[in-house]
Amino acid sequence: MAADLTALTGLDVPTGLLIGGEWGAGQGGGTFPVLDPATEEPLAEVADGSVGDALDAVGAAHAALPGWAATP
């Protein structure tokens, strides 16, 4: 069972994928555990991105480039 990240950090820690300014679970919806290296206890389950998710992220970054390039 994963730890309560909000209790550990005092922050609302997102565990999904941020693509195009939107948080989501990704195309497959799978997750994998993040372990505390000191105790090997699970800290969280985070989204497991797919190749499709990576392509979506690259597409979103490409679409955002003109706006970022125009930022002084």
pLDDT (tens digit per residue) in 23-52: 999 998 899 999 999 999 998 899 999 999
CA distance 8 to 34: 14
The pLDDT value recorded for residue 5 is 79
Show the tokens assigned to 56: 């979506």
Q: Could you tell me the residue range of the domain that residue 22 belongs to?
A: 5-69
> Contact, 19 vs 53, CB < 8 A?
yes
The DSSP string of 18-48 is EETTEEE--SS--EEEEE-TTT--EEEEEE-
Q: What is the tally of structural domains in the chain?
A: 1
Q: Model's pTM, two decimal places?
A: 0.77
Biggest alpha carbon–alpha carbon distance for the chain: 47
